């Protein structure tokens, strides 16, 4: 199998998946250890982390976690540490230090509130590593998909006022809303909030920007939807959808007569006294925001400009104040009926699995309204997680205890933050006598392995399975199955059949089962995601859909084989896009990563088109997109997908070797210009001068797509050109960038 050199973009949002449990958005760089010892990237995004089959949640062992915590004991208690018992604040601080030291977070902030009173508020970690400044409890973080709850509140306030009906068609409020699929007329407001609209998902092009509150996606959103078809009948099933919340944002603006930011300020932020909660439209250089890092380089603030889907910035304290409004305590924003409506198990109204699903059980806005492990304790808990590229968080609300817990972090994932929030709540409930150690220990936290022979009827589940993240091949054996992830065919993972239709991964951290529903065969994944020393999250979700064998005719097969191994470089992203920093510059057309007749998670239908086809609830068919190749009048091939456009490497010319020249951005299209570094230019010094009258940026990458210089984030203007590398010039339409080569 060819090694992909340029990391392919699956989507942005913050995707964006990873607990809420999203799938995939863009590479956020969270490294996990595969069972073969290799390192793989757990792809997360604008919203949320989703467990990868056969990939452990972390490679930190329980012994390592225990040793780290013991090393902290003397700092708290001195020589008498064994005689003392830490209170909640001290225990939380030790765990916070573990989150940074062991689990890859740059900083973490957390708070707990009950009956309107702040029980706990603290933080740990660096805001600026170079200046050695720490975050504070007033430092704002991007909350990513937790923002969806603010949208839910906005909609339900309009419902309470009689200005909007949940089950009214969206076209009633937005008559100009159209799609290339007549079924769009059946989409209701409720479907936007419970993820069952059938809208493909969220490309979020030009949305994840650095220190840039550009409203492009908001302004162009209805035009973007005009070109899209639906991925499912409205209401058929719930699958995580950022664009549904973006559409609901437009509904709120139309019905209220205010911008979404102004509506939130007037109806939520000000009434609750949320002094450290803002949208990108309100933020400025004076705001204290948590430092985010690309390896060791501090980046500008990450703005998510699809506000309702992922764009609210806040603190853990403010999120707790907000979360309290979903209890019986504090000044209510919503009626009791509206609050209760958000807690209904909305996902189970459509196609869904019968089993308990842990961290994924959609309400209105909520990722889960019946959350592990509290559901097992008889305690109602609702939670919403969020993952941007660099910031993450979790909000957990306990309506019957009038309590809210919030955790925000730079680095890490929402899954980790959920486990940390779970830890805080459990410790507090133990102090209150609501929970005992015996009760906690009685809740299952792994699967049991009992090696048995595979029943004959399960052999029909042999074959290929497709999800939004990757494709898998299942080969049944006498006592289990071997799974091959097509993204890495060198890794074969063995699951052991343990009876009752369950195949268990060594150690009991994951379980795969199979199900036939509505004539379609699905692979299901149960996963216990443990942070040793802190806690465990659980989810049971659809992980893939069995895909049929396809035989392409010779002309179609030949057309796609010509593309195999070619790289495509994004030309449609703005100069401030985080993609240019996050190694999301393009993708490689690697046919080895797909079943024959398929292109990644799409089905090839002709020489130039591959379309989304999966029907999978929850997350495994989120962020669906079609891939369309087209050739311009000069014979250069372009790839369009998820609102983005990329140029084939065949159409990229060598960078000029002249001593000085000017690169001009097209005045009509504004598309980025890519160049290759020829052998002649290797190690030559390139210096660029950016225009003063227009925005522009130059980035340089090595042959593997690793960033070497980005003028927008570093201010550097000179670099020795890497061998066989790439240079991209990006700017406003008509921008002129001067270049000198020496």
Question: Residue 43 pLDDT > 50, yes or no?
Answer: no
Joined tokens for residue 695: 């925005």
Q: Token pair of 23, please?
A: 């799938």
pLDDT of residue 225: 95
Q: According to the model, what pLDDT value does residue 73 have?
A: 73
Helix ranges (H only) for 78-175 are 88-101, 147-160, 170-173
Q: Is residue 674 included in any domain, yes or no?
A: yes
DSSP 8-state assignment for residue 738 = E
Task: Decide if 77 is inside a domain.
Answer: no
Residue 681 lies in a domain: yes
Question: How many angstroms separate the CA atoms of 626 and 11, rounded?
Answer: 12
Q: Is pLDDT larger for residue 139 or for residue 328?
A: 139
Res. 31 pLDDT band, cuts 50 70 90: very low
Condensed to tens digits (0 to 9), the pLDDT of residues 275-315 reads: 999 999 999 988 999 999 988 889 999 999 999 999 999 99
* CATH code of the domain containing 291: 3.40.710.10
The helix (H) or strand (E) run that includes residue 246 is helix 242-256
Tally of structural domains, the chain:
2
Here the tokens at position 685 are 């010094």
Distance between CA atoms of residues 92 and 122, nearest Å: 8
By DSSP bridging, strand 653-654 and strand 471-476 are unpaired
Mean pLDDT computed over 555-571: 96
Calculate the average pLDDT of the chain.
90
The pLDDT confidence band at residue 86, using thresholds 50, 70 and 90, is low
Find out whether 215 and 23 touch, Cβ atoms under 8 Å.
no
Whether 73 maps to a domain, the answer reads no
pLDDT at site 110 = 98
Predicted pLDDT of residue 673: 98
Each residue's pLDDT tens digit, 384-416: 999 999 999 999 999 999 999 999 999 999 999
Checking if the pLDDT of 12 tops 60, the result is no
In a domain, 99, yes or no: no
pTM: 0.92
Residue owning tokens 């304790």: 377
d(CA 211, CA 301): 5
Predicted confidence band of residue 26 (pLDDT cuts 50, 70, 90) = very low
pLDDT (tens digit per residue) in 338-397: 999 999 999 999 999 999 999 999 999 999 999 999 999 999 999 999 999 999 999 999
Q: Which of 16-20, 238-242, 685-689 bottoms out in mean pLDDT, i.e. has the lowest?
A: 16-20
Domain presence at residue 490: no
For residue 713, what is the domain's CATH number? 2.60.120.380
Banded pLDDT at 74 (limits 50, 70, 90) = low
pLDDT at res. 501? 96
Distance separating the N- and C-terminal Cα atoms of the chain: 39
Beta bridge partners of 516: 521
**Of 417, 441, 465, at which residue does a domain stop?**
441
Distance from chain centroid for Cα 441: 31
Residue 141 — pLDDT band, cuts 50, 70, 90?
very high
Q: Per-residue pLDDT tens for 114-123?
A: 999 999 999 9
User: What is the predicted pLDDT for the residue at 75?
Assistant: 59
Structural domain contains residue 382: yes
Q: Note whether 547 and 464 are within 8 A (CB).
A: yes
- Domain end, chosen from 421, 441, 461, is at 441
722: in domain: yes
Q: What is the pLDDT of residue 700?
A: 97
Q: Say what the pLDDT of residue 643 is.
A: 87
Q: Which residue, of 441, 463, 478, is where some domain finishes?
A: 441
pLDDT digits (tens, 9 = 90+) for 148-207: 999 999 999 999 999 999 999 999 999 999 999 999 999 999 999 999 999 998 778 899
Q: In 3-state terms, what secondary structure has residue 579?
A: helix
Residues of the domain holding 724: 652-741
pLDDT at 85: 58
- 61 in Cβ contact with 40 (< 8 Å): no
- Tell me how far apart the alpha carbons of residues 586 and 588 are, in angstroms, rounded to a whole number: 7
pLDDT of residue 35: 27
């Amino acid at each position: 199998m060819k090694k992909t050199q340029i990391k392919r973009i699956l989507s942005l949002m913050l995707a964006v998946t990873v607990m809420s449990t999203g799938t995939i958005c863009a590479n956020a760089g969270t490294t996990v250890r595969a069972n073969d010892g290799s390192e793989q990237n757990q792809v997360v995004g604008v919203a949320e982390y989703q467990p990868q089959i056969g990939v452990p949640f972390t490679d930190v062992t329980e012994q390592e976690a225990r040793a780290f915590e013991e090393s902290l004991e003397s700092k708290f208690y001195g020589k008498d540490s064994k005689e003392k018992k830490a209170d909640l604040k001290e225990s939380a601080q030790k765990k916070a230090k573990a989150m940074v030291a062991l689990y890859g977070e740059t900083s973490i902030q957390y708070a707990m509130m009950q009956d309107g009173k702040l029980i706990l508020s603290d933080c740990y970690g660096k805001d600026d590593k170079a200046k050695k400044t720490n975050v504070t409890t007033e430092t704002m973080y991007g909350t990513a998909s937790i923002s969806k709850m603010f949208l839910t509140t906005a909609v339900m306030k309009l419902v309470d006022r009689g200005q909007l009906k949940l089950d009214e068609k969206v076209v009633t409020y937005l008559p100009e809303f159209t799609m290339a699929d007549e079924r769009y007329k059946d989409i209701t407001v409720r479907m936007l909030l419970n993820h069952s609209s059938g809208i493909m998902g969220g490309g979020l092009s030009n949305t994840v920007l650095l220190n840039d509150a550009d409203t492009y996606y908001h302004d162009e959103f209805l035009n973007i939807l005009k070109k899209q078809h639906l991925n499912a009948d409205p209401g058929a099933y719930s699958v995580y959808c950022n664009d549904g919340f973006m559409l609901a944002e437009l509904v709120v603006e139309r019905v209220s007569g205010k911008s979404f930011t102004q509506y939130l300020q007037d109806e939520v932020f000000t009434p609750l006294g949320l002094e450290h909660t803002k949208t990108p439209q309100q933020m400025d250089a004076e705001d204290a925001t948590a430092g985010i890092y690309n390896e060791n380089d501090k980046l500008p603030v990450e703005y998510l400009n699809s506000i309702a889907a992922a764009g609210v910035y806040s603190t853990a304290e403010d999120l707790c104040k907000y979360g309290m409004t979903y209890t019986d305590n504090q000044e209510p924003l919503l009626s009791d009926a509206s609050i209760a409506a958000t807690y209904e198990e909305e996902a189970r109204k459509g196609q869904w699995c019968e089993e308990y699903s842990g961290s994924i059980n959609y309400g209105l806005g909520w990722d889960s309204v019946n959350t592990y492990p509290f559901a097992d304790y008889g305690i109602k808990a609702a939670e919403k997680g969020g993952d941007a590229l660099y910031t993450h968080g979790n909000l957990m609300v306990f309506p019957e205890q009038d309590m809210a817990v919030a955790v925000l972090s730079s680095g890490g994932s929402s899954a980790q933050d959920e486990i940390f929030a779970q830890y805080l709540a459990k410790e507090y409930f133990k102090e209150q006598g609501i929970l005992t150690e015996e009760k906690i220990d009685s809740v299952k936290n792994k699967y049991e392995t009992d090696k048995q022979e595979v029943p004959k009827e399960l052999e029909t589940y042999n074959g290929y399975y497709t999800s939004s993240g990757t494709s898998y091949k299942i080969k049944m054996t006498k006592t289990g199955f071997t799974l091959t992830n097509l993204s890495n065919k060198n890794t074969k993972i063995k699951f052991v059949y343990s009876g009752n239709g369950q195949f268990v991964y060594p150690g009991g951290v994951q379980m795969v089962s199979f199900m036939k529903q509505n004539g379609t065969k699905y692979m299901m994944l149960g996963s216990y995601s443990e942070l040793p020393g802190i806690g465990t999250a659980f989810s049971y979700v659809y992980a893939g859909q069995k895909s049929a064998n396809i035989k392409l005719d010779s002309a179609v097969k030949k057309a796609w084989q010509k593309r195999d191994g070619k790289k495509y470089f994004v030309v449609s992203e703005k100069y401030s896009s985080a993609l240019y920093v996050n190694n999301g510059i393009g993708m490689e057309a690697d046919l080895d990563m797909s079943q024959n007749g398929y292109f990644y998670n799409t089905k090839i239908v002709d020489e130039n088109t591959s379309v989304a086809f999966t029907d999978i609830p929850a997350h495994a068919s989120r962020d669906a997109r079609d891939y369309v190749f087209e050739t311009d009048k000069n014979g250069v091939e372009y790839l369009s997908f998820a609102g983005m456009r990329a140029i084939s490497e065949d159409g990229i010319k060598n960078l000029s070797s002249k001593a000085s020249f000017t690169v001009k951005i097209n005045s009509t299209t504004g598309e980025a210009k890519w160049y290759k570094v020829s052998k002649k230019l290797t190690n030559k010094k390139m210096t660029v001068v950016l225009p003063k009258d227009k925005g522009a940026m130059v980035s340089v990458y090595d042959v593997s797509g690793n960033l070497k210089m980005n003028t927008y984030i570093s201010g550097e203007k000179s670099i020795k050109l890497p061998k066989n590398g790439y240079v991209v010039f990006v700017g406003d339409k008509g921008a002129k960038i001067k270049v000198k080569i020496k």
